[in-house]
Each structure stands twice: as structure tokens, then as C-alpha cells.
Structure 1
């Protein structure tokens, strides 16, 4: 009998395990992960940005936890000797419509308590000579880090406190009684007084196994990246983002310096047909059937047909992808865009077709389920863990 069982070895699951052994010294804890390693899905397939919290609805979990998490991530990286860089971020408006949306973001940043500078076109070019636009927001607190290293350091702290981490263990059944929860699969069974599920791309399936009356599906969106040749990595000094569409949970194709000295371009957002299929064209029949058969996805397709077709075109043809980047960085060429591994975003979609923007966490008597935790979940991992543990 364990005191706590955590399902999921991404950064949110590992952070939660670390907070539990910290809050309850001597407690017996086991973390169970299906993959052969930790942080292999969303944690290990993102652009490594330490987000500041500028985008999110005031009062939302994302707005509050991201702001806390940005500082925690920097402090933890510094304490553990993990490289990070607070390089700042520019959100670039390229036309009048984007400029108006940018001003709205500026007001939101003030409400959310995020430090931001409003720049005109001349100041934008002075700071980043290769970038053009009619104006920009500069977010000085945004940074970059390798979240796999953050996850590995957290895991070491879990083990040092006596927690167990079991890899290669898929969970196919969850049974909750009045006194405990048993999770089991081909590799074995584990019983604990309290269960925390941080299953990311499999969050809805784990919730159904636990008997939660959910009315959503996790829909995978592929985020396809390119990277520039190493000799072009100094093209920009800061992160360069477009002004996002407020009706979508995606931030658009951006230029991102990485902590290992690369310069990436991406991601786009293409509907995926495999939750864990990172190669282009990957199809998992079970995943595809669930997507096609879910009424909420039909409504998403009707509402966002124009956006979906544009993203698909840009996925199939590099020229369209390049055009997105050249709106703010006109000197980029097709030869600059070299393949880089894709990521997959776990996006909760409600039956009415709503794309869930905020983090979504539900509970039963003896379990807590993180049902929607896309970006900025990596930045927010420890505050999310604190939020979960406060509710146990």
C-alpha cells in the first residue's frame, strides 16, 4: 500500500511527485510511466520557452500559475546548475489588425502583472535589425531552458526522498474504493490511498478508466518545426512571436533561440491522427476513429475550416510555412528551413466544439486528474503541482 501513486512521467507528473514527497516526508510514493523514459512527449518536444503569462485570461489558472512558474523555473534551474537564458520575447505586429490585437494584449499584460514594453517600428528594428513590423511588445522576463533537464533534476529529488519511479508500465485499469485506488496493467498493479493522474495525451482515457463522467476528448495537434543552419543561429537575439489569434489556443509560428544554440522556426498546428506518432503521416487507427467520431471535432472543423486548411497547406508545402515567417523576417529563404522533430499538443475539445484554453483539473474522492495541461504547463509545472497537492 502506497500513500500516493502518480500516473505520468512528464514534467507535471514528476513535479507533483516531488511536491508530494516534500510536503509529506516519509510518505510512500510511486510514479508510473508508460514510456521507457521521463519527459518523452510534450515535455521533450517543445520550444523550451519559459513563458511569462502575457496571453492568458485574467483570473485564469494559466495566468496565475504561469507567472508563478516562470520565476520558479528560473530559480530552480539556477539552483541545479541547469543552463537557462532570460533573452526576452518580441511579439511583432505586421499590419493594422495585428496592431490592434497587440494593444489588447498589452492591456491584458498589465492586468496580469507582467512587465511589457510597447515599441514602435523604429525601436523594433533597432533592437532586432532583421525583423520588421508596425510595432511590437517586448516581454523582458521570457526565457529559454531545456525542460527535459528540469524534469530529470526533479526526478532525482523524488528518488532521493524515497519515491519510486517505474518506467515501461502502461496502465489499463483503475479501480477506486472507499479506502484506496488500484492501478494496473501488463507490468503489474499498484495500490495507493491517493492517485494523481497527469497523463497528458492520454488524459481522457485515464479519466474514463477511473469512471469520471467526462464530456471531452484529447485531440492531438502536431506542431511541426524547422531549424536554421547553425551559421544562421545568430539571426535574432530574442524570441520572435507573431501576435496570436485570440480565438485559438495556439501562438503561431515563431523564431526561437534554444538553450543549446540552435534557432528553431515553428510550430504550426496540424490536426494529428496519432497521439504519439511524431513522424509525418503517422496514423493510429484507434486515435483516428475517436477523432472522426467525436461530435466536438466536427464542430471545430466547421468553425475553423479556413485556419485548418491553411495549416495543412503549410504542412504540405514549405513555401506556405516560409510565408508565415517572412511576414516578420523577410530575409528567410527556403534553404534556411531544415527539418526538426515535431511535437504533439494534447488539446482538450468539449462536445460542443469548444477548444479548452485553461488548465482543467478534476477530482474524485481519492484521485485528482489533470485533464488539460498544454502550454504553458512546462513553465507552470511546480505551481500546478502545488495546486494539486493543496487539494489532496
Structure 2
């Protein structure tokens, strides 16, 4: 019998385990991860950006936890010798319509208490000679880091404080009773007084195993990246993002320097037919059936037919993808787009077709389930963990 069990070895799960042991020293804790390594999925397949929170609805959980998470991530990295580069970000408007959206986003940034500067096209070109636009927002607090390294350090802290981390352990059954939760799988069975599930791409399935009546489905979206050649890695000195269209569900293709010195471009957003299949055209029957049997998916598809078709075309034909990049970096060529492994975003979709953009956490008397934690979950992981532990403390008997 453990005091706590955590399912999920991404950054949110590992951060939660570390927070539990820090706040409840001497507790026994077991962390279970299905893969043979930590941070294999969303944590290890993103741009490595420490987000500022500029995009998010004021007052939302996302906005609050991202703002807190940006600071705590930088502090944690500094404390543990993990490289972090606060390089800043430019959100570039390329025409008058985007300029109007840029100004609206600037007003939102003030509500979200962020330090943001507005610059014109001439100043943009002075700061980033290879980037073209009619104006931009400067977000100096945005940075880059390696979230896998942060996860590994958190896992070392878990082990150092008496926690047990087990890899390659799949959970296929969760049973909650009045005094314990039992989790089981092919490798064995374990009991705990409290359970936390941070299952990311499998969040809906884990919730159903636990008997939670979830009215959503995780729909995977592939985010395809390219890497620029080494001699182009200094093309920009900051993160370069487009101005997001509020009518579209994702931010759009951006140029991202990485903490390792590379320069990537992406991601797009294409429906995935395998929740954990990173190769192009990966298909898993169970995942396809989950999508095809869910009414909410068809409502999302109908509402985004043109956007979806464009994303698929750009995925299949590199010239279309390149055109998205050339809107703000016109000197890029096809030869600059070198292969890089894709990422997969776990997007919660409600039965009525609504995309869930905010973090979503559900609890039972003895468990807490993180049902939706899309970007910026990595940035927000430390305060998400704090929020989860508060819920555990309030329900522990």
C-alpha cells in the first residue's frame, strides 16, 4: 500500500510526484509510466518554448498557470544547472488584417499583466533582418529550454526523496473503493490511498477505466516540424511566431531556435490516426475507431473543412508548408526544410464539437485526473503540480 500513486511519466506527472514528496515528506509514492523512458510523448516532442501566456483568455486557468509557470520554470532551471535562454519572441503581422489582430492581442497582454512592446515594420527589420512584416509584438520574457532535462531532474528528486519510478508498466484497470485505489496491468497490481493520473494522450481512456463519465474524447493532431541546416541556425535570434487567427484552433507555423543551437520550423496541425505514432502515415486501428465513432469529431471537421484541407495539403506537399514560412521569412527555400520528428498534441474535444483549450482537471474521492493539458502544459507543469497537490490534500482522509 502506497500513500500515493501517479500514472504518467511526462513532465506534469513527474512534477506532481516531486511536489507531493516535497510537501508530504516521508510519504510512500509510486510513479508508473507505460513507455520505457520518461518524457517520451508531448513533453519530448515540442518546441521547448517557455511560453509567456500572451494568447490565453484572461482569467483562464491556462493564463494564470502559464504566467506562474514561466517564472518557476526559469527558476528551477537555474537552480539545477539546466540551460535556459530567455531569447524573447516576436509575433509578426504580415498584413493589415493581422495588424488589427496584433493590436487586439496587445490589449489582451496588458490584461494578462505581461511586458509586451509594439514595434513597426522598420524596427522589426532592424532587429531581425531576415524577417518581414508590417509590425510585431515583442515578448521579451519568452525563452527556450529542454523539457526532457527538466523532467529527468524532477525524476531524480522523486527518487532521492524516497519515491519509486517504474518504467514499461501499462495500466489496464483502475478500481477505487472507500479506502484505496488499485491500479493493475500485465506487470502487476498496486494499491494507493490517493491516485493522480497525468496520462496525456491516453487521458480519456484512463478516466473511463476509473469509472469517470467523461463527455470528451482525445483527438490526436500531428504537429510536423522541419529543421533548418546548420548554416541557417543563426537566421533569427528570437522565436518568430505568426499572429494567431482566433477563428483557428492552433497557433500556426513558427521559427524556433532550440536550446541545443538548432533552428526548427513548425508545427502544422494535421489529424493523427495514431495517438503515439510519430512516423508519417502512422495508423492504429483502435485510435481510428475512437475518432470515427465520436460525434464531436465530425462537428470539428465540418467547422474546419477548409483549414483541415489546407493543413493536409501542406503536409503532403512541402511547397505549401514553405509558403506559410515565407510569409514572414521570405528567403527560406525548399532545401532549407530538413526532416525532423513530428509531435502529437492531445486535444480534448467535447461531444458538441467544442475544442477544450483550457486545462481540465477532474477528481473523485481518492483520485485526481488531468483530463486536458495541451500547450503550454510543459511551461505550466510546476504550478499545475501545485494545483493537483492542493486537490489531493483537500480530499485525503
**TM superposition score normalised by structure 1:** 0.99
Distance 2:206 2:105 in 1: 36
- Which residue of the partner structure matches residue 60 of structure 1? 60
Which ranges of 4 or more aligned residues in structure 1 deviate by more than 3 Å?
none
- Which residue of the partner structure matches residue 297 of structure 1? 297
Distance 2:251 2:27 in 1: 40
Residue 249 of structure 1 and its aligned partner are, at CA, apart by 3.6
Q: Give matches, 1:199-348, under 5 Å.
A: 199-348=199-348
Is residue 166 of structure 1 aligned with residue 166 of structure 2?
Answer: yes
Distance 1:374 1:249 in 2: 12
Distance 2:97 2:292 in 1: 34
- Which residue of the partner structure matches residue 25 of structure 1? 25
Distance 1:123 1:112 in 2: 25
Distance 2:246 2:80 in 1: 36
Residue 383 of structure 1 and its aligned partner are, at CA, apart by 0.3
- Which residue of the partner structure matches residue 125 of structure 2? 125
Distance 1:155 1:382 in 2: 13
Residue 250 of structure 1 and its aligned partner are, at CA, apart by 1.5
Q: Report Cα offsets for 1:124-174 as digits up to 9, x if no partner.
A: 111101101111000000000000000000000000000000100000000
Unpaired segments ≥5 residues, structure 1? none
Distance 1:163 1:245 in 2: 44
- Secondary structure of 1:152's counterpart equals helix
CA RMSD of aligned residues (A): 0.5
Distance 2:359 2:109 in 1: 19
Residue 245 of structure 1 and its aligned partner are, at CA, apart by 1.6
Distance 1:249 1:307 in 2: 10
Distance 1:190 1:148 in 2: 27
Paired positions, count: 392
Is residue 112 of structure 1 aligned with residue 127 of structure 2?
Answer: no
- Secondary structure of 1:190's counterpart equals strand
Residue 59 of structure 1 and its aligned partner are, at CA, apart by 0.5
Residue 227 of structure 1 and its aligned partner are, at CA, apart by 0.6
Distance 2:97 2:180 in 1: 55
Residue 246 of structure 1 and its aligned partner are, at CA, apart by 1.5
Residue 190 of structure 1 and its aligned partner are, at CA, apart by 1.0
Distance 1:385 1:365 in 2: 18
- Which residue of the partner structure matches residue 395 of structure 2? none
- Which residue of the partner structure matches residue 197 of structure 1? 197
Distance 2:178 2:250 in 1: 40
Q: Report Cα offsets for 1:345-390 as digits up to 9, x if no partner.
A: 0000000000001000000010000000010000000000000101
**TM superposition score normalised by structure 2:** 0.98
- Secondary structure of 1:328's counterpart equals coil
